[in-house]
Structure 1
């Protein structure tokens, strides 16, 4: 979405709600005396409400960066959707550790979390806040409602597209619920507004719902690259379907690798192209990239938050690192990586494979203490520096312009290759090799990093996903799919709370339903093991 629309959404004060748990996620009390009766009478407001739905992934409230939270009960900045998601997807793996001993955050890397872990609940509540917003928007934009309000015929097609995008966003949040929590509370626009106890849906049934939603809206979304920046198009829906199908065996017990081949190929052929310079994908003007299919948009002056890329940039700077090199004025000294990720690069200097972006000076490869920022190499991937030079727009140098690349084309290349290697029909090993080597040619600047057909196997693909996609919120899902998340056959420093790493209980492939929701909703059954 054009960042001006996000600015308009913030300034308008429209559709601000508070939510504390999924059991009252439909009991949304509007602030600022804005109600459906007056909000939806003017079609000009519909786009602002849609902006709120998109903005919920980047922002934590209307005031920004703190002071008027959408979801209460936590430090507002820590509960940012992208920050919460990233922490569950990365701090539980070999890709990241954090130095701050804030509450129960160390439990994520130690893999001994409980149902009372506040970082798990932050994500859970954010998911259901987003679902609540989209449900309400869908209730208020039915054909009957539009007719009742006398919405002009000329606006009906646009309203239909808005609804399709809202359904995509709901599918995205439900996908996160599916992946992180499994069997979860389920609510749609068909449920009446008011406090009630949502029923729990089985993981496989939720998979089917998300799949059906994405297929239903496929023809209603804008064509690939035809929507405004950061708004969903057909390629975004195809990307989410490809990810669903690639992980279907985990989610449903049924492999759907042929479908993963089909939809990743649709993405590859959709008109997006690889960014010429890999590093620019994560810099302050990455909104110009031809590769990013669905970003979460951030702007240093309009979307101020302590989460998102503000967190990813500032928290990754510490020790003797020069924060000016990253376009910010603060060093938070928090997140860095383990030797496992460093070691997937034959040359961690970045001189050969440009995807190796580590600050090693003053940093130790071995992590003796998670609480020491200088234990573990720092990752320099995200920056608030433009590819043309100069920092982002925030005069204070705190909040970046760098967008978060939720979906990008390179992932489709790797999903296609993996699905083919796993036996999916509709693609060839020759095609898979071409797509993988396209990424390696970009990384190396020539063909010196190309691999042969005999090297293209699942072990290579998992490592290549780490090289290409590290710190982009994929690692936990990848390790689970490859059977390496809980297993003692693959360990990393401090996995399971011990320096050498150890295997953990199999049930930790899912997070627990937060204890708060279990207490108030008698319809919920906890995930096994918790």
Structure 2
């Protein structure tokens, strides 16, 4: 796929001429300025390219959306809204635009980062509508059209999940404004759309190979359908509870034989760790779990909002085991996330003295071994292969909890993502990572099925077997007999932290707002406070309801 997928995308980025730069992220409701010059293959590649790229040049210089191109990508904009307000991660630099409001749950309808996410999702949908308008609806193109319809449904799911309703439009017509679909209407449309396109897509697992990895087959649609159904009660405000549908789709994925969990360790890297390494597209152990990835490649696809953000954002220069020069020192673990892995935090080893300023990575490793603060030391203490954290001496002394968010060392570092390959050598480019982002992976099917069964019966035994599969892979302790809904919520964190979904899970468990569950800096207070329920969804950006003059769109309650 590197030879086909990336070269095709590169040609599309350079030559398509379909997408122009949209000044200040201010597009007219849903349609960017566009020309109609395209070739089907280029447009098809561009539709996939917007998942992992931000423009035509790579890095910056000719973005789909202007303003700060690095902030404008599909994954970074949605990741920020799904992760930064939650119990998992904190962004160190609180002087960055709109960061205090997002990290402390205090945004409003003028939020810059909310606008960025809304605009990117709407822009991409317009591109998908353009493809579907221009490419014939016939047997020759039926599978490719189904893939683009899947990408459109995926983006509508993000809008539904983040905003509780969607600006809906399936035609490419700059004179037609989108209409507003309520949560229930959007849920029904996505459900029916996926049901219609699934038979037209390639068989489950057909693209989980060297040639086609990165395209969406029926497995991707099944996983999105299961995710949609699991959240049905939230999206429809209690009118629908499709938990059995979620179970049925997970059954098809797990029983298909097309995928398996990444289980076998290689060169000291656990099966779990290999999922987030630079060769996860060609390492068959990792690839067999990945149902649908966002492709990233250090030579051909460069952007500041994909796996570069995940790796460099959580690293400082002298930290070991990440295979890159870039280090942004922005993201660190909140204490609440650490508590999911370490019941007794007093036992967590912390470096007492920072490494010398000019220390090399090898010298830092030697000091960490001396202090007992290596990554492996924390893995051993947690007894869980998923506890990928660092408490060592690189670039400062880390804390477990802070009374003031001001620095990268205010929490433990997260080392889940890396640009090292499973043979422990670096990726192709130490400035831009090769690490693909698993947007859907088989572990989600196991945990979705476990939660859906528990919600249907209330019996812990109905959920234990699937959770135990994940514990077995992680070499973790046996799942206790008396699990409850909070244990399942914690398990979502342990398995999927820093993968761009935490807010959705917290909302589904009625834990994102209110005082049922508080964590450090929830609501802007050190130990956390209750926040108002209107924050369960984001506001429709003011300029889309007021400045853009679209009378079809209304604001969410509380904003």
Any gaps of 5 or more consecutive residues in structure 1?
40-44, 144-155
Q: Please tell me whether the aligned partners of residues 222 and 234 of structure 1 are also in contact (alpha carbons under 8 angstroms).
A: yes
Verify: 1:404 aligned to 2:437, yes or no.
Answer: yes
Verify: 1:256 aligned to 2:242, yes or no.
Answer: yes
| 1:10 aligned residue | 13
Match of 2:191 among 199, 211, 222: 211
Verify: 1:125 aligned to 2:119, yes or no.
Answer: yes
**Separation in 2 of the partners of 1:26 and 1:81?**
17
| 2:518 aligned residue | 491
Match of 2:294 among 285, 293, 296: 296
| 1:146 aligned residue | none
Q: Deviations over 1:36-91 (max 9, x none)?
A: 4xx3xxxxx3222111111101111001111111012x210011110111110000
Q: Please tell me whether the aligned partners of residues 197 and 522 of structure 1 are also in contact (alpha carbons under 8 angstroms).
A: no
Residues 393/430 of structure 1: CA separation in 2 closer, same or farther (3 Å cut): same
Alignment of 1:422-437 (within 5 A): 422-423=455-456, 432-437=463-468
| 1:342 aligned residue | 338
Q: Please tell me whether the aligned partners of residues 460 and 484 of structure 2 are also in contact (alpha carbons under 8 angstroms).
A: no
Residues 27/284 of structure 1: CA separation in 2 closer, same or farther (3 Å cut): closer
Match of 2:31 among 10, 26, 30: 26
RMSD: 1.9
| 1:95 aligned residue | 88
**Separation in 2 of the partners of 1:383 and 1:229?**
20
| 1:281 aligned residue | 275
Verify: 1:175 aligned to 2:169, yes or no.
Answer: no
Q: Please tell me whether the aligned partners of residues 20 and 32 of structure 2 are also in contact (alpha carbons under 8 angstroms).
A: no
- SS of the residue corresponding to residue 408 of structure 2 reads coil
| 1:316 aligned residue | 314
| 2:416 aligned residue | 381
- SS of the residue corresponding to residue 293 of structure 1 reads strand
Residues 115/24 of structure 1: CA separation in 2 closer, same or farther (3 Å cut): closer
Q: Please tell me whether the aligned partners of residues 23 and 198 of structure 1 are also in contact (alpha carbons under 8 angstroms).
A: no
**Separation in 1 of the partners of 2:21 and 2:158?**
21
Q: Deviations over 1:238-269 (max 9, x none)?
A: 10010111000000022111111111111212
Any gaps of 5 or more consecutive residues in structure 2?
264-270, 349-377
Q: Please tell me whether the aligned partners of residues 277 and 419 of structure 2 are also in contact (alpha carbons under 8 angstroms).
A: yes
| 1:245 aligned residue | 229
Alignment of 1:86-165 (within 5 A): 86-100=79-93, 101-143=95-137, 157-165=139-147
Match of 1:202 among 182, 187, 197: 182
Match of 2:426 among 363, 381, 391: 391
**Separation in 1 of the partners of 2:11 and 2:462?**
44
Match of 2:555 among 523, 526, 530: 526
Residues 424/214 of structure 1: CA separation in 2 closer, same or farther (3 Å cut): farther
Residues 367/158 of structure 1: CA separation in 2 closer, same or farther (3 Å cut): farther
**Separation in 2 of the partners of 1:14 and 1:409?**
37
- SS of the residue corresponding to residue 71 of structure 1 reads coil
- SS of the residue corresponding to residue 56 of structure 1 reads helix
Residues 429/50 of structure 1: CA separation in 2 closer, same or farther (3 Å cut): farther
**Separation in 2 of the partners of 1:390 and 1:369?**
37
Q: Please tell me whether the aligned partners of residues 460 and 482 of structure 2 are also in contact (alpha carbons under 8 angstroms).
A: no
Q: Please tell me whether the aligned partners of residues 284 and 392 of structure 1 are also in contact (alpha carbons under 8 angstroms).
A: yes
Q: Please tell me whether the aligned partners of residues 246 and 415 of structure 1 are also in contact (alpha carbons under 8 angstroms).
A: yes
Q: What is the total number of aligned residue pairs between the two structures?
A: 494
**Separation in 1 of the partners of 2:433 and 2:9?**
15
| 2:405 aligned residue | 370
Q: Deviations over 1:416-439 (max 9, x none)?
A: 0000000169xx976743321111
Question: What is the deviation of 1:322?
Answer: 2.5
Verify: 1:420 aligned to 2:453, yes or no.
Answer: yes
Question: What is the deviation of 1:158?
Answer: 4.3
Q: Please tell me whether the aligned partners of residues 284 and 400 of structure 1 are also in contact (alpha carbons under 8 angstroms).
A: yes
**Separation in 2 of the partners of 1:424 and 1:26?**
45
TM-score, with structure 2 as normaliser? 0.85
- SS of the residue corresponding to residue 175 of structure 1 reads helix
Question: What is the deviation of 1:197?
Answer: 2.9
| 1:79 aligned residue | 72
Question: What is the deviation of 1:342?
Answer: 0.6
Match of 1:514 among 534, 541, 555: 541
Segment drifting more, 119-128 vs 158-167: 158-167
| 1:462 aligned residue | 489
Question: What is the deviation of 1:346?
Answer: 3.5
Q: Please tell me whether the aligned partners of residues 24 and 195 of structure 1 are also in contact (alpha carbons under 8 angstroms).
A: no
Verify: 1:439 aligned to 2:483, yes or no.
Answer: no
**Separation in 2 of the partners of 1:365 and 1:195?**
54
Residues 239/171 of structure 1: CA separation in 2 closer, same or farther (3 Å cut): same
Q: Deviations over 1:91-140 (max 9, x none)?
A: 01011110122111121111110111111111000000110000010001
Q: Deviations over 1:120-168 (max 9, x none)?
A: 111000000110000010001133xxxxxxxxxxxx5441111000000
Question: What is the deviation of 1:339?
Answer: 1.0
Q: Deviations over 1:207-234 (max 9, x none)?
A: 1111111000010000112131111011
Question: What is the deviation of 1:456?
Answer: 3.7
Question: What is the deviation of 1:393?
Answer: 1.1
- SS of the residue corresponding to residue 142 of structure 1 reads coil
Question: What is the deviation of 1:523?
Answer: 2.0
Segment drifting more, 194-203 vs 50-59: 194-203
